[in-house]
Amino acid sequence: MDFQFLTPIKDSVVAHLVLHPSHALGSSMSLHTLQDGFPDLDTISIAIFGIEEDRNAIDNMGCGEDLHLIRKQLYQLFPGNWKTSIADLGNIVKGNMIEDTYFAAKNVIEALLKKNIIPVIIGGGQDFTYSNYKAYDALEQTVNLVCVDSRFDLGSLEDEVNSKSYLSKIIMQQPNNLFNYSNIGYQTYFNSQEEIALLENLYFDSFRLGEAKNLETVEPILRDADIVSIDIGAVRQSEAPANNNASPNGFYGEEICAIARYAGISDKVTSFGIYEYNAKHDNNYQTAHLIAQMIWYFIEGVNYRAKDYPFSTKENYQKFTVVLENDDPINFYKSHKTGRWWIEINLLTDNKYKRHALIPCTYKDYKDAVEQVIPERWYKGMKKMI
C-alpha cells in the first residue's frame, strides 16, 4: 500500500487539540494517529503530509525536523465557511538512502492524485519538487510547474538531484512531461545571466520580485499551474526566519498568503508544497505561524473554486476575436461567472498539448492585442506547441 510510508502524527500534537475550541480546524480534520490509525480517504479533498528529509537541502540541514510546530499552529486556526474535507496523513520519515525518501514521496503523491485528492506537502528540501513532478508520470499528461523562489535552482546537468539543481533534472527528464515552468519572485543577483537567458530561450515565464508583487500579474500564472512549489526562503527573513538561506528581500507575509490563495482558487492546481522550513531558526514559531496561514489560505482558495475553466460549456463565456495586422485572429474568452480571461491557441491537430490550448490571461492582454501588441504568454505558448 502506498500510504505505508506515512507515520502517525505525534501524540503530543494530538493531545494539544483538547486545548482548542471544538470547532477549531484541527478538530474538524481527519488525522492519522497512533490510536485511531490511518483515516478513510473516500470523502477527502485535501491531504496534508510532511517529509522528514534534509540530506539534499543545500545549506539548510534540519529542514525536515519538527514539522509538528507547523501543525500546532494550523490546528488552532478556525476554518472558514468551508465544505472542503481535509486530512492530515502524518509524515514520511527518512529512508535508508535519500532515493528511498524520493520514492516514498512520489508514490504517496501519485496515490493521492489517482484518488483526486490534492496533496499539500510540508517540510523537506525543495528537491522534493522533483518527486512531485515524477508522480504525474502515471497520469500521462503534460504539466505546468510554478515555483515561488528567489532562485531558479537549475544547477548543472552533472549535479545529483538537490534543492539547488532539481529544475535541470525536470527539464532534461525523458520522457519529458513538462509543458511550462514559471518562476515567481526571482531576485536577479541570485541567478546568473546565463540561467535567465536559458529560461527565456525555452519560452518559460519568470517574474522578478518587484514585478511579482503586482499580484494581478501572477494570478494567471497560478491559474494555469498543475504543481505549485514554494521555497519559504522566497519570503523576506524578517517575516520568515526559519530558513538558513533566508534573505532580507522577498515577499511579505500577506503577499505569500495571497499567492497561496490564488493557487487554491485555480481549477488546475492538483498539488501544493511548502519546502525548506528549518525550525532551529524559527523565532517564536513565527515561520510556523506563517506556513499554517499559507495552508489555510490555500484551503480557502480550493473551497471557493469557481470551476470556470473553459470549456465546460461555451455558453458561460463571452468570446472576443482580435484580428492582427497579419490577418491572424486571436480568440479571447471572458467568464460570465468570475470575469476572468483566457486566450486561445488554435491547434491544427489534436495532440498532447490540447489541454494547454487555453491560456489564462488578463484584461490587459486583451487590450494589448486590440492595440496590435501580441501577448507574450500567447507567443511563448505558440512556440512551445510548434
217-254 pLDDT tens trace: 999 999 999 999 999 999 999 999 999 999 999 999 99
Q: What sign has the CA pseudo-torsion 242, 246, 252, 255? A: negative
Report the pLDDT averaged over residues 28-50. Answer: 97
**Per-residue pLDDT band at 294 (split at 50, 70, 90):** very high
Decide if pLDDT at 353 tops 90: no
pLDDT, residue 2, reads 76
Place of cell 527539464: 171
Picking from 64, 70, 72, the residue whose alpha carbon sits closest to that of residue 15 is 72
pLDDT, residue 175, reads 76
pLDDT, residue 313, reads 62
CB 36: neighbour CB atoms within 10 A?
A: 11
Decide if pLDDT at 348 tops 80: no
Decide if pLDDT at 267 tops 90: yes
pLDDT, residue 311, reads 58
- d(C-alpha 150, C-alpha 233), whole Å: 7
128-138 pLDDT tens trace: 999 999 999 98
Mean pLDDT, the chain, as a whole number?
93
Question: What would the CATH number be for the domain defined by 2-303?
Answer: 3.40.800.10
Domains in the chain: boundaries: 2-303, 314-385
pLDDT, residue 196, reads 96
- d(C-alpha 86, C-alpha 43), whole Å: 9
User: Exposed (0-12), middle (13-18) or buried (19+): which is 251, by Cβ within 10 Å?
Assistant: buried
- d(C-alpha 121, C-alpha 16), whole Å: 22
Picking from 27, 114, 3, 46, the residue whose alpha carbon sits closest to that of residue 300 is 46
**Per-residue pLDDT band at 384 (split at 50, 70, 90):** confident
Decide if pLDDT at 312 tops 60: no
- d(C-alpha 29, C-alpha 11), whole Å: 15
**Per-residue pLDDT band at 256 (split at 50, 70, 90):** very high
Three-class secondary structure of residue 59 per DSSP: coil
pLDDT, residue 310, reads 67
- d(C-alpha 13, C-alpha 366), whole Å: 50
Dihedrals phi, psi of 209, to nearest 5 degrees? -55, -45
Report the pLDDT averaged over residues 35-62. Answer: 97
Residues 6 or more apart whose CB falls under 8 angstroms from that of 58 comprise 125, 162, 163, 164, 245
pTM above 0.85, yes or no: yes
